[in-house]
Amino acid sequence: MEEKVIEKVVDHVGERETRIAKVQKMKAMGIIPYAQSFDKKNLISDIIKDYETKEHRDINDIIPNPEIQVKTAGRLMLYRSHGKLAFAKLLDSTAQIQLMFHRDNCKLIVNESSIETLEQ
């Protein structure tokens, strides 16, 4: 019985150029793509513990009046986009949390000012 070997052709040059273009776009927006430090305020385990007992705001209040409630960092373990929705799993030394983003309701904050979202 003959086994079929399927080779996956990867365009390393095209991928490299795409990544360079994305980094240049981020720099033009004032974002430091490979920041050396970040002022992390909250551990993920503390965020989870706080929100187990915290009263949640209504979605109709959150979208027009967003509030910065936590400031955390970690390793992005998973990212999936489905149309206008995107899901991610963020892991730090204490726990993992799932995030959901809706393209129409997300903005980047750079140097205390809000800017439009990044395109894919």
pLDDT tens digits for range 41-53: 999 999 999 988 8
DSSP code per residue over 42-69: --HHHHHHHHHHSPPPPHHHHTTS----
Domains of the chain with CATH codes? 34-55+68-115 (2.40.50.140)
Residue 33, pLDDT > 90, answer no
pTM for the full predicted model:
0.65
So what's the pLDDT on residue 120? 44
Spell out a b/e string for 83-98, using b for 16 or more CB atoms within 10 Å of the CB, else e.
Answer: eeebeeebebeeeebe
Q: Does residue 114 or residue 45 have the better pLDDT?
A: 45
Sign, CA torsion 80/104/44/109: positive
Q: List, in order, residues 6 or more apart from 27 with CB less than 8 Å away.
A: 33
What letter would DSSP give residue 37? -
Tokens (6 digits) for 2:
């003959």
What letter would DSSP give residue 95? -
The helix/strand/coil state of 18 is helix
pLDDT digits (tens, 9 = 90+) for 48-82: 999 888 888 887 888 778 777 889 999 999 999 98
Dihedral of CA atoms 27, 33, 37, 43 in degrees, nearest 10, equals 130
So what's the pLDDT on residue 54? 86
So what's the pLDDT on residue 94? 97
Q: Are strands 108-110 and 96-102 parallel, antiparallel or unpaired?
A: unpaired
